[in-house]
């Protein structure tokens, strides 16, 4: 009896997951820096809805109502946010490629979500740490049936050039650019330094080295602003008793700030940076949208970022985007632009037609699970 409940429940779960598609979009709102004034967040629903208002013109506008897979308010903990991602970590261990993106304007909390608070405190550690920890945990639990190996790479994309963040710098030279970028065989950057890791602590040390090497420059918005995309990749290889091998990778991507050029009041090098960032972020949006719409042509080759992640975007791969929001009134414009980007890449709305068609099957399964549970309870 119990086995059947588990099995039917699983079937239901899989159908629901399948209907949701392989692209999930979440929104995270950070705590406000300005407690005195009213911010832009009007309402957060438990079902993933979000209503934004312009504090200068506070009437409700149906255009400013958004729906995501989930919305995390300012009090959400790192663990709560990670819980939604956890099933995908299991997928990585089962052989699926997964990309996790942090998107949003500078100062909206991207690095907080991925790495945790600056200074590397042990408390509130971010997605990178929690994900790696989980990979090693699952590996340990499966050690009797599967032997796993892990390797890490870390690169950044700055002005459409890829740099190796883990290369040794013994000669005092800059962290090298990488030219070879392929998309076959799963390893898109064969020339980027790759280190084996056997524990979360190992991986953390490489992450620290990579973070130190990130190009950081100042803009009018934030003097610690990251103007490059950073990509931490964990390559997983699993071997079972029969000798068959499974390969996959997990990409943890802290994207460059999405703020528009005018806002940053930039010229020269800063302007060039901003233009590269805008272009690559809109290419990423185009690729994810094309995948969600199941287009026959996916424009991977329009940016280094999508080119590099080609094998992990689309097909069987799974994608998660966290859209980060700064709740202060003066961020209203950027917040709307972030949420519109997130709405565009979200398959939730695009998937509604399919959801309706198949909902009778879901309902039937749900009823079956409930009645099996009742029957089981009667027996005990």
Q: Does 226 bind Mg ion (CB under 5 A)?
A: yes
Closest by Cα among 18, 17, 39, 21 to 30: 39
Residue from 32, 69, 108, 338 that binds ligand ADP (CB under 6 A)?
A: 108
Element (H, E) at 3: helix 2-20
Taking each helix axis from N to C end, the angle separating 127-141 and 200-212, rounded to the nearest 10 degrees, works out to 150
139 vs 226 by CB, closer to ligand ADP: 226
Q: Which of 107, 210, 238, 314 binds ligand ADP (CB under 6 A)?
A: 107
From candidates 39, 48, 109, 238, binder to ligand ADP by CB under 6 A: 109
228 interacts with Mg ion by CB under 5 A: no
For ligand ADP, the closer of residues 21 and 327 by Cβ is: 327
Nearest to 337 by CA among 72, 52, 114: 52
Bridge-based pairing state of the strands 49-52 and 195-197? unpaired
119 marked ligand binding residue = no
106 belongs to an annotated ligand binding site: yes
Q: Which residue is nearest to ligand ADP (CB)?
A: 109
Q: How far apart are CA 232 and CA 225, in angstroms?
A: 18
| 38 belongs to an annotated ligand binding site | no
Name every residue whose Cβ is closer than 8 Å to that of residue 256 and which is 6 or more positions away in sequence: 226, 227, 228, 229, 277, 280, 281
> Residue 229's closest CA among 248, 249, 215?
215
Nearest-Å Rg of the Cα atoms of the chain is: 22
Could you say whether residue 112 binds ligand ADP (CB under 6 A)? yes
Does 111 participate in binding Mg ion (rule CB under 5 A)? yes
| In the chain, beta strands by DSSP E | 23-29, 41-44, 49-52, 65-67, 70-72, 98-104, 146-158, 161-164, 177-178, 195-197, 229-240, 245-254, 318-325
Total residues binding ligand ADP (CB under 6 A): 13
Nearer to ligand ADP, 79 or 361 (CB): 79
Q: Annotate each residue in 245-274 with x if it binds ligand ADP (CB under 6 A) or - if it does not, as one string.
A: ------------x-----------------
Q: 3-state DSSP helix/strand/coil percent for the chain, to nearest 5?
A: 40, 20, 35
Of the listed pieces 63-71, 110-118, 280-288, 297-305, which binds ligand ADP according to CB under 6 A? 110-118
x/- track of binding to Mg ion for residues 62-101 (CB under 5 A): ----------------------------------------
In this chain, which stretch among 103-111, 143-151, 168-176, 300-308 interacts with ligand ADP, using CB under 6 A? 103-111
Name the residues that contact ligand ADP, by CB under 6 A.
30-31, 104, 106-112, 117, 257, 324
């Amino acid at each position: 009896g119990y086995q059947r409940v588990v099995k039917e429940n699983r079937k239901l779960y899989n159908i629901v997951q399948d209907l949701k598609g392989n692209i999930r979009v979440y929104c995270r709102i950070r705590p406000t820096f300005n407690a005195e004034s009213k911010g832009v967040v009007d309402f957060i629903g438990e079902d993933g809805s979000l209503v934004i208002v312009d504090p200068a013109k506070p009437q409700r506008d149906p255009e400013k109502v958004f729906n995501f897979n989930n919305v995390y308010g300012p009090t959400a903990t790192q663990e709560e946010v990670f819980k939604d991602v956890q099933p995908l970590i299991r997928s990585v261990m089962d052989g699926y490629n997964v990309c996790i993106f942090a998107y949003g304007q500078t100062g909206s909390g991207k690095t907080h979500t991925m790495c945790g608070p600056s200074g590397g405190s042990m408390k509130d550690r971010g997605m990178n740490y929690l994900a790696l920890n989980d990979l090693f945990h699952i590996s340990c639990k499966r050690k009797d049936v599967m032997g796993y190996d892990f390797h890490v790479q870390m690169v950044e994309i700055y002005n459409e050039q890829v740099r190796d963040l883990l290369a040794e710098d013994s000669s005092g030279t800059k962290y090298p650019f990488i030219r070879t970028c392929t998309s076959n065989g799963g390893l898109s950057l064969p020339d980027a330094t790759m280190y084996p890791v056997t524990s979360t602590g190992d991986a953390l040390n490489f992450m620290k080295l990579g973070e130190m090497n990130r190009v950081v420059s100042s803009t009018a918005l934030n003097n610690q602003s990251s103007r490059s995309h950073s990509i931490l990749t964990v390559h997983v290889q699993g071997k079972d008793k029969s000798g068959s091998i499974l390969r996959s990778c997990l990409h943890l991507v802290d994207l460059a700030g999405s703020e528009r050029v005018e806002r940053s009041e930039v010229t020269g090098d800063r302007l060039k940076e901003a233009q590269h960032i805008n272009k690559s972020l809109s290419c990423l949006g185009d690729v994810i949208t094309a995948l969600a719409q199941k287009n026959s042509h996916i424009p991977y080759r329009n940016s280094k970022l999508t080119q590099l992640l080609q094998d992990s975007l689309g097909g069987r791969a799974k994608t998660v985007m966290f859209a980060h929001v700064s709740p202060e009134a003066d961020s209203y414009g950027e917040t709307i632009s972030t949420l519109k980007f997130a709405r565009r890449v979200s398959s939730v709305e695009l998937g509604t037609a399919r959801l309706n068609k198949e909902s009778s099957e879901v309902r039937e399964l749900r009823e079956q699970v409930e009645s099996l549970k009742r029957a089981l309870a009667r027996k005990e």
